[in-house]
Amino acid sequence: VSDELDEVRRYVNAIAPPDEETMAKVKSRVGAARATRGIDPDRSGPSRRINAVRWAAAVVVVLAIGAALLVASLGHHGPAKSMGAHLQDRLTRLVVDDVSVTVAAGSYDMTFTDTTTPATVTPTTPCAKESGGQGVLVGPGQQSTGTTAQPCWAQTAPPGISSSLSSISGHGTVDTNPYAMVTESNVGSLGPITLYDNGTNVWEIGGGDYGLSAPGQVGPGAPLSGYAGSVEGTVGQVQGALDMEGLASGTGYMDLEAREIQGTQPAGTGSVDGVPVTIYKLSESGLLDPNIGGLTSEQVSTIRAADAIIKSSGFAGKTTWVSVDSEGYIREQKTQYTLPDGSMVTEDTILSNFGCAGTVLMPGQAGTSAPSANCVSPDTAGATGTTTPSTGSMPQTSTSMTATPSIPPTTVAPTPVSTT
Amino acid sequence: MSDNGASAKSSTDAVVIRQSLLDPRSFSLIVERHATSIFRYLVCRVDRSASEDLLADVFAAAFQARDRYDASYESALPWLLGISTNVVRHYQRSEVRRGSMMRRLTHLNRRSIEVSEAIDAVAVTAELHDEMLSMRRALGALSESHRQVLVLSAGLGLSYEDVARTLGIRIGTVRSRLSRARRRLRELLAADGQYQEYDESVQPSVAEERQT
């Protein structure tokens, strides 16, 4: 007869350990706690008591509101949320936590490719590259190599959008606290554009030279909200408003915010830069909340103006696939949406070098941009990264990038500006 | 972080937790070390699906409370198990409340959420043979306090002192509770056919029972 305690031990040891997904959730939650609280060594007894009193008061208020809502809901509705909605809420919270983890890293590099597919499609249009002309725009999954005639999108641009602007790629660096972003993009016939954004002012070097006091003179920059006119006039009003939401989000191109997310579904697994990721598919309104804390007045007014345009346009929302690694860092964000004019936009942003991307300096700003020599990012990627198609339904693309994008000092600014 | 990575891996939990006050990322080492034990404890208390969620709650709570960790304890496992106990208690209360509210709202005869049913949903690695099934049933039929002490002591190998610390009870109480739990477990296993004879020698002495 075996000892019952041995039996208990055997039984407990036979319980399967938590799977990778569960461990990823744990790390994500701890990372979120790290982001929301961080180091707080000064917490003392009295402050805890004060906090406890505050919490108690808050709980009373919440309970009162909850009771009122419950009474109201009993009068009008049946059961509360379905289990499916409950799961979606949980997944959404997870993704929001992951955004917090990524933002809490302090900085990251990014590469991005935005493609606009015009609404008008002529399947038989040859896709040969015209001599001396712009590269031929192709649809997702299509090839543009060689001169063999093949079905592709026509080059007819939708009203307000120049076909030469239909594909934008670039790279950049984002600091999250304080917010500062620099990107270098290749924008069709406009050529390279370097954009600096600190949440209040913008400097566009190249393109329309917005924010420059004179060609070659960077000056103090110009208000972020005023940049909307330039962007919307170039890429179209709704597309421009969506772009401005990203610029005003405080997270650069990773403009994910809780209120914007309308639904979240698991979308399989994959890898980005060789790092295993879990992929979530989000439905987003495209609208940001101007009332969340930490935004500058310029960001608030920019978001409000962009929200108004998006709402009035009948914009149907965005679908975004977010790839999150086991540490909770968002490695890739891929977004697709259709503009009211029927053109389809695909945006792909790959993030890397979390916490070690250095300090972004605005034009004329003094300081050191290089990260500390001891800084080690959780990245384990090599120099070239590719996005491995996931097992989910994420659009299958491949993106070449450098692991550590470097923005060279601009040739326009009189003061040398450098980032990483 | 990486500079300290090698040394951190050989450090005690107390040292790692102290380091995590300056370098929060080092707390992930605590997660790696104890996630499996905590998870198994949770699975013995609630169903596996809930355990997957609660595991994150436990470590998030631990991270936030790490500045209050008593560094005189080298291993953080009892501390984490104590947090797990509180997290499970909170979860079970909320589940009961939710079940009650759902019944009121829907007037459906929704099945009550009982630990015995949750235990029945325990999943293990391989196919459970008869003994394991029998053990699962027996553990599920035990009282909450008996199951706790058995899983902590026999299942996870904690000392009496650590079990006492985890549950916030005296060592004497741990001994007597464990003794009664063993007796009850044997009764249940015997009733299930696993033990044909009841071994009187494992019965706790009267003195031991009164020690509590």
pLDDT tens for residues B135-146?
Answer: 888 888 899 899
Q: What is the pLDDT of residue A147?
A: 37
- Is A374–B3 a contact, with Cβ atoms under 8 angstroms apart? yes
Q: What is the pLDDT of residue A214?
A: 74
Token pair in block for residue A359 = 């300090």
Q: Which residue of B has its CA nearest to A77?
A: B105
Written as one string, the DSSP assignment of A231-277 is HHHHH-HHHHHHHHHHHHSSSTT----GGGEEEEEEEEEEEETTEEE
Q: Among positive and negative, which fits the CA dihedral A122, A128, A131, A135?
A: positive
Residues of chain A in contact with residue B155, where contact means CB-CB under 8 angstroms, are: 8-9, 11-13
Q: How far is residue A265's CA from residue A87's CA, in Å, rounded to a whole number?
A: 9
Q: How far is residue A379's CA from residue A359's CA, in Å, rounded to a whole number?
A: 18
pLDDT tens for residues A218-258?
Answer: 778 888 888 888 888 777 788 888 888 888 887 766 667 66
Specify the higher pLDDT residue, A391 or A274: A274
Q: How confident is the model at residue B129 (pLDDT cuts 50, 70, 90)?
A: low
pLDDT tens for residues A193-224?
Answer: 888 888 888 888 887 778 887 777 777 888 88
Distance from CA of B175 to the nearest CA of A (A): 14
Q: What is the pLDDT of residue B191?
A: 82
* pLDDT for A298 beyond 70: yes
DSSP B24: G
Q: Are B81 and B38 in contact (CB under 8 A)?
A: yes
Q: H-helix or E-strand containing A332?
A: strand A330-338
Mean predicted confidence (pLDDT) in A260-270: 79
Please name the residues in contact with A32: beta carbons below 8 A apart, sequence gap of 6 or more: A97, A98, A100, A101, A328, B60
Q: Are B19 and A41 in contact (CB under 8 A)?
A: no
Q: How far is residue A303's CA from residue A244's CA, in Å, rounded to a whole number?
A: 7
Q: Are B166 and B158 in contact (CB under 8 A)?
A: yes
Q: What is the pLDDT of residue B194?
A: 57
Q: What is the pLDDT of residue A149?
A: 35
Please name the residues in contact with B196: beta carbons below 8 A apart, sequence gap of 6 or more: A1, B190
Q: What is the pLDDT of residue B131?
A: 64
Cα B32 to chain center, whole Å? 17
Between helices B48-64 and A20-36, what is the axis angle to 10°? 30
Mean predicted confidence (pLDDT) in B20-36: 90
Q: Among positive and negative, which fits the CA dihedral B119, B123, B129, B132?
A: negative
Residues of chain B in contact with residue A24, where contact means CB-CB under 8 angstroms, are: none
Mean predicted confidence (pLDDT) in A143-171: 48
Q: Are A208 and A222 in contact (CB under 8 A)?
A: no
Q: A335 by DSSP, 3-state: which?
A: strand
Which 106-135 residues of chain B touch chain A by CB within 8 A? Answer: 106, 122-126, 128, 131-132, 135
Cα A336 to chain center, whole Å? 13
Asked which of A298-302, A312-316, B164-168 is least confident by mean pLDDT, the reply is A312-316
Among residues of chain B, what percentage have pLDDT more than 70?
69
Q: B164 by DSSP, 3-state: which?
A: helix
**Nearest-CB residue to B124 (from A16, A29, A41):** A16
Among the residues of B44-197, which ranges form H helices?
Answer: 48-64, 77-106, 115-119, 130-141, 144-150, 160-167, 171-191
Written as one string, the DSSP assignment of A183-234 is EEEEEGGGEEEEEEE-SSEEEEESTT-TT-SBTTB-TT-EEHHHHHHHHHHH
* pLDDT for B199 beyond 80: no
pLDDT tens for residues A385-406?
Answer: 444 444 444 444 333 333 333 3
- Is B40–A17 a contact, with Cβ atoms under 8 angstroms apart? yes
Q: Are A402 and A392 in contact (CB under 8 A)?
A: no
pLDDT tens for residues A342-378?
Answer: 888 888 888 888 888 888 888 888 877 888 777 777 6
Mean predicted confidence (pLDDT) in B94-118: 50
Q: Among positive and negative, which fits the CA dihedral A158, A164, A165, A168?
A: positive
* pLDDT for A144 beyond 70: no
Q: How far is residue A266's CA from residue A147's CA, in Å, rounded to a whole number?
A: 40
Q: How far is residue B17's CA from residue B11's CA, in Å, rounded to a whole number?
A: 10
Distance from CA of A376 to the nearest CA of B (A): 7
pLDDT tens for residues A25-60?
Answer: 898 888 887 766 444 443 444 445 556 666 677 777
Residues of chain A in contact with residue B185, where contact means CB-CB under 8 angstroms, are: 4, 8
Q: How confident is the model at residue A152 (pLDDT cuts 50, 70, 90)?
A: very low
For residue B172, give the nearest of B148, B149, B141, B193 by alpha carbon. B149
Computed on alpha carbons and rounded to an integer, the radius of gyration of chain B in Å comes to 19
Kindly list the distances between the CA atom of residue A255 and the CA atoms of A127, A252, A303, in Å, as whole numbers in the listed order: 34, 7, 11
Q: Are A354 and A102 in contact (CB under 8 A)?
A: yes
* pLDDT for B90 beyond 60: yes
Q: Which residue of A has its CA nearest to B188?
A: A4
Distance from CA of B75 to the nearest CA of A (A): 19
Which 71-100 residues of chain B touch chain A by CB within 8 A? Answer: none
Q: How confident is the model at residue A178 (pLDDT cuts 50, 70, 90)?
A: confident
Among residues of chain A, what percentage have pLDDT more than 90?
1
Q: How confident is the model at residue A155 (pLDDT cuts 50, 70, 90)?
A: very low
Q: How far is residue A392's CA from residue A280's CA, in Å, rounded to a whole number?
A: 9
CB atoms within 10 A of CB A23: 21
CB atoms within 10 A of CB A160: 17
pLDDT tens for residues A55-81?
Answer: 677 777 777 776 666 555 554 444 445
DSSP B25: G
Q: Are A173 and A109 in contact (CB under 8 A)?
A: yes
Q: How confident is the model at residue B8 (pLDDT cuts 50, 70, 90)?
A: low
* pLDDT for B196 beyond 70: no
Strand ranges (E), A17-120:
107-117
